[in-house]
Structure 1
Amino acid sequence: MRIALVCNAYHPDIGGVETHVRRLCAGLTAAGDDVEVITQGATRSVETVDGVLVRRFPLTVPAGNYRLSVPLWRWLRAHAAEYDVLHAHSYHALAALCAALGNRAPLVFTPHYHGTGHSRFRAALHPLYRPLGRTIMARAGAVVCVTAAERDLVLRHFPAVGERAVVIPNGTDPRPSTPAPRSAVRRILCVGRLEQYKRVDRVIRAMAHAGPEHRLDVVGTGPAAGQLRQLAARLGLAGRVVFHGRLDDDAFAACLSQASAAVSASAHEAFGMAVADALAAGLPTVAAPIPAHREVARLAGAGDEARPAASGDEARLRFADPEDEVALAEALREAAASGRTRPAVLPTWTDVVGATREIYAAVAGRPVSVGAVGR
């Protein structure tokens, strides 16, 4: 099949959606599909990234949270019929609206839906955008949610989607089991785009209560990076909170291998890829008790409730309220001291690609070949 994945941003930009799309592209290409990425950027460009053709269209509106490329919409209006399927990503970005309007190509939509905006202003705009969001949902032949919790939220706000809403959990990259690092310093890994709703500031504040032997490794970039650096300096934690920015796969793997624990304090997630990747690496993890994280815990066999320090599966995941920095610090200390566990068995990206290709075939009305993707 010839497939166009439409997204707000793409590699080397990082984030949950960007990772999801990149892994899909790799798997679809391996399965023999003809894959293109249609996305936005500062300037128009066409390049090949990891064997995938990436078309970037210049931004008409460059504002960080409201990026819009009219040339992208015009391209799809003129060329959408050349693809068997358009797969649009993220309700919270306008590129998906461009994919839904002005063409009749079969459409699959993965909303990565949080149900609200991530600032007071964006939250206020969210109900006003909902009629446009309803247009995307109505156009889509399938709406792919990454957790049952996300599907429930989508159906609460868009009940007409009905049985077109399906769940395909995000995948993880299987990693070899590694022994706990031998170091007096216990490194805690925090991965994600640096946005306010990720609540990395709460993790930094908790580090002030965690003891000098603990270090926080923050991996990611985003608009809150400057404020977070200032906060760490103001709390006297500049040497214990290290901002790595964007890391390539090898550098991230090295960072992961040296970690004693991982943390995600995010207030909103459709899935929680940072938590899933940490559990798949056998890394004790502390997470905010949001529905998506609880569902990842169930997928990983780590249960649904916060547990005290223990061995085996019960030590994998602890829930802690990020608004209570003392309790969060205690959970981080326990996790970092507990040692690595057996890596959790979670869906892989091969599983995700196989299930997604079946959705494409159903929406496009075409048979799907197995190709290089295992089942």
Structure 2
Amino acid sequence: MHVTILCEKLTVTGGGSNVSLDALARALSARGHSVHVITIDEEQNELPANRSYSVVEYSVDRSTHAVNWIRAVARIMDRHDDCDLFHVFTPILLPAAGVYRKNGDTPVVGRLNSYALFCTNQSEMGAECYRRCSSYKKFAHDDGSIGRKLLKTPVYVGRTNLVPRLVARVDKLFAQSPAVKDVYSTVGFDVETTVVPNFYDPEFAAPAPSSSDDERSEPDFDRQVFNVLSVGRLERYKGVRTLLDAAAKLDVPMQVHVVGDGPDRANLESRVASLGLADRVAFHGWVAHSELPQYYRSADILVHAATWPEPFGRAVLESLQCGTPAIVSDVGGPPWVIGDAGLTFEPGNSDDLCAKLTSAYANPGSISALRDRTEKRIERFEPDRVLEHLLGEYRSLT
């Protein structure tokens, strides 16, 4: 099968979506399928080495009018529609796919791994916000200036009324989790949708060759304390502040390790200072993806404290793969991903998180039980299992 994957960018230093795209393209290629990736923002690309798939790079000007941008992407699809199927990997490209599909013959499937199709500010998106995502709410939540927001009023109206109609032309959507499927259905996207999650990368948690041990730096974790890990981009809606507030209330010997970087880092570091946690919180910054397994394995537990309905939570999947249980906020995809190999707490509630961490520390047997369940839970995301489901969906359309 000839599959063309359409995305905004592909960068090895990007977030989980980039990791998932590369993993999918390599896995399909390894199974004998012809895979081509088209990116539309060439300047942001930092392409993976030793690729088994081809990449075609375009630069589509995002500063132009939204209608012109959508038409430009649709023309790119028209130029490359000699494939068996388009897999749109970036949700914001789905309206363009809808424009293409009006006259184009090649089936199109789309991946739902974010809420960018309708949400103007994910940091304002709480567990229930999407249920009333009107044009006014889009205007109110956008963090731009009043003047700029007034100019964008047609965009807010278009996202509410036009975008769902364009996306409805796509043949099928793949939600990353049941939570994502529910959100898009509630907002008003009337497209056949099935849950196709990320699969784990078998090489991610594989033991490193002994010859390279001296090149790998072990995380500086104190084995005499309870080590709590947070992994992800430092954005406000990721909820790291909730974790810090919970840590300030904990009366146990512990260390919080924050892995990742982003625009909220300075605020979080200030928060650590104001809470008097300088000796209990370590910021490790950005860590190469290949080095992350050591952090997961060195931690007693992962905390994923997002305050918004995170579509999936790749850090939770990686933690499972490394045999480390997690405590996740009870919203979005992470509770489904972790299943019975973790615990949940109320989003944004540092008291509840503090109670769960205190219980975990006081009951090492319960942590051991959760750790034992990770092996069974990770089977749900086994590559062959997910890929067979995905290929079955492909075949149903070609």
Instruction: Please state which band the TM-score falls in when normalised by the shorter chain.
Output: 0.7 to 0.9
1:171 to 199, 213, 216: 199
What is the SS of the residue equivalent to 1:81? coil
The separation in 2 between residues aligned to 1:132 and 1:153, in whole angstroms, is 18
AA of the residue aligned to 2:2: R
User: Relative to structure 2, which stretch is displaced further, 339-348 or 257-266?
Assistant: 339-348
Aligned to 2:62: 61
Give 1:189 deviation, angstroms.
Answer: 1.4
Give 1:318 deviation, angstroms.
Answer: 1.7
Give the TM-score, by structure 2 length.
0.73
- Structure 1's unaligned 5+ residue stretches are 303-315, 366-375
Q: 1:320 to 1:243 in 2, by over 3 A?
A: same
Aligned to 1:320: 345
Q: Tell me the number of residue pairs that the alignment of Structure 1 and Structure 2 aligns.
A: 338
The separation in 1 between residues aligned to 2:72 and 2:249, in whole angstroms, is 48
Alignment check: 8 A CA contact 2:196 2:389 kept: yes
Give 1:101 deviation, angstroms.
Answer: 3.0
Alignment check: 8 A CA contact 1:268 1:290 kept: yes
Alignment check: 8 A CA contact 2:40 2:59 kept: yes
Q: 1:214 to 1:73 in 2, by over 3 A?
A: same
Alignment of 1:359-370 (within 5 A): 359-363=393-397, 365=398
Give 1:119 deviation, angstroms.
Answer: 3.7
Give 1:183 deviation, angstroms.
Answer: 0.9
Aligned to 2:32: 32
Aligned to 2:109: 108
Give 1:77 deviation, angstroms.
Answer: 4.1
Alignment of 1:184-199 (within 5 A): 184-199=224-239
AA of the residue aligned to 1:194: L
What is the SS of the residue equivalent to 1:350? helix
1:95 to 93, 96, 102: 93
- The answer to whether residue 122 in structure 2 is matched with residue 118 in structure 1 is yes
AA of the residue aligned to 2:394: Y
Alignment check: 8 A CA contact 2:71 2:96 kept: no
Alignment of 1:152-167 (within 5 A): 152-158=182-188, 160-161=190-191, 164-167=192-195
Alignment of 1:38-53 (within 5 A): 38-41=38-41, 43=43, 49-51=49-51, 52-53=53-54
Alpha-carbon displacement from aligned partner over 1:163-221 (angstroms, at most 9, x marks no partner): x21122332346579xxx98113221112232222111111222222357322222233
The separation in 2 between residues aligned to 1:38 and 1:241, in whole angstroms, is 41
AA of the residue aligned to 2:36: E
Aligned to 1:272: 313
AA of the residue aligned to 1:108: V
2:245 to 169, 180, 205: 205
The separation in 2 between residues aligned to 1:265 and 1:49, in whole angstroms, is 33
AA of the residue aligned to 1:6: L
Give 1:253 deviation, angstroms.
Answer: 0.9
Alpha-carbon displacement from aligned partner over 1:145-175 (angstroms, at most 9, x marks no partner): 12223223322333632xx211223323465
What is the SS of the residue equivalent to 2:168? helix
Aligned to 2:217: none
Q: Percent identity?
A: 23
Give the TM-score, by structure 1 length.
0.77
Alignment check: 8 A CA contact 2:71 2:99 kept: no
The separation in 2 between residues aligned to 1:189 and 1:221, in whole angstroms, is 14
AA of the residue aligned to 1:5: I
Alignment check: 8 A CA contact 2:246 2:351 kept: yes
Alignment check: 8 A CA contact 2:164 2:189 kept: no
AA of the residue aligned to 1:292: G
The separation in 1 between residues aligned to 2:251 and 2:40, in whole angstroms, is 43
AA of the residue aligned to 2:270: Q
Alignment check: 8 A CA contact 2:252 2:358 kept: no
- CA radius of gyration, larger in: 2
Aligned to 1:143: 173
Alignment check: 8 A CA contact 2:3 2:86 kept: yes
1:293 to 334, 337, 344: 334
Structure with higher helix content: 2
1:134 to 164, 189, 208: 164
Aligned to 2:325: 284
RMSD over equivalenced CA pairs, Å: 3.4
AA of the residue aligned to 1:220: G
The separation in 1 between residues aligned to 2:48 and 2:321, in whole angstroms, is 30
Give 1:118 deviation, angstroms.
Answer: 0.9
User: Relative to structure 2, which stretch is displaced further, 115-124 or 321-330?
Assistant: 115-124
Aligned to 1:14: 14
- The answer to whether residue 375 in structure 2 is matched with residue 344 in structure 1 is yes
What is the SS of the residue equivalent to 1:58? coil
Aligned to 2:262: 222
Give 1:87 deviation, angstroms.
Answer: 1.0
Give 1:352 deviation, angstroms.
Answer: 1.8
User: Relative to structure 2, which stretch is displaced further, 266-275 or 98-107?
Assistant: 98-107
Alpha-carbon displacement from aligned partner over 1:81-133 (angstroms, at most 9, x marks no partner): 13222111343xx3333444346232111122547441449951566513343
Aligned to 1:331: 356
Alpha-carbon displacement from aligned partner over 1:253-298 (angstroms, at most 9, x marks no partner): 111111110011112122233223323433231111115333234x
Give 1:72 deviation, angstroms.
Answer: 6.8
The separation in 2 between residues aligned to 1:46 and 1:318, in whole angstroms, is 36
The one of the two structures with greater contact order (alpha-carbon pairs below 8 A, sep at least 6) is: 1
Aligned to 1:313: none
What is the SS of the residue equivalent to 2:348? coil
What is the SS of the residue equivalent to 2:381? coil
